[in-house]
Amino acid sequence: MQFLYEILPVFLFFLAFKFYDIYVATIVGIVATTMQVGISRIVTGKWDRKQLITLGVFVFFGSMTLYFHNPIFVKWKPTVVFWIFGIVIFGYQLFSSKPLMQRLMENMLQDKGEIPLKVWRNINVAWACFFILLGCINLYVAYAFSNEAWVNFKFYGVTGALFAFSLFQAVYLARYMTEHENKN
């Protein structure tokens, strides 16, 4: 359910582009992301840093797209967000005893297995590299293809890649959860 909530602004951006254009889609994306941040704040009582970063970058690059009437700025938004996430994930590991991905996931995996620190570090590096690569691919598509191809890539390609990488991570972690269950 969280995944659907997270993807909603991207879906609304996609729909607005399909029915109107990149500029209307940019406005819809900014409004939807702003509403998502506000709803999340009301429901949880705290600010979601990931959503705030996304909103800040979206407002900045979206505003530039609208002001200069040039879609390249909004096309840079996913790359900047992905690169920020990649750098934060990797950098967190350098300054903390626990990798960021472990901190984010350990409550979900509670009592399901003992995952070694080395595995968490591998997952952390894998996610950081994945986000950096995804940002690079986004730039390639943004510059080499049409607006329509980029919007399709942003919706189908990025969503599919995130889902596939999450699935890869689940499979990778599953063996540690299975080993724990077999020990009990």
Average pLDDT value for the chain: 90
Reported as a single tens digit per residue, the pLDDT across 67-83 is: 999 999 999 999 999 99
Looking at residue 3, what is its pLDDT?
Answer: 59
38 lies in which domain range?
2-183
φ/ψ of residue 135, rounded to 5: -65, -40
Look at 19 and 179; give whichever has higher pLDDT: 19
Looking at residue 181, what is its pLDDT?
Answer: 47
Say how far apart CA 7 and CA 43 lie, in whole Å: 18
Say how far apart CA 176 and CA 155 lie, in whole Å: 32
The number of beta carbons lying within 10 Å of the beta carbon of residue 99 is: 24
**What is the biggest distance separating any 2 CA atoms in the chain, rounded to whole angstroms?**
62
pLDDT band for position 112 (50/70/90)?
low
pTM: 0.85
The number of folded domains in the chain is 1
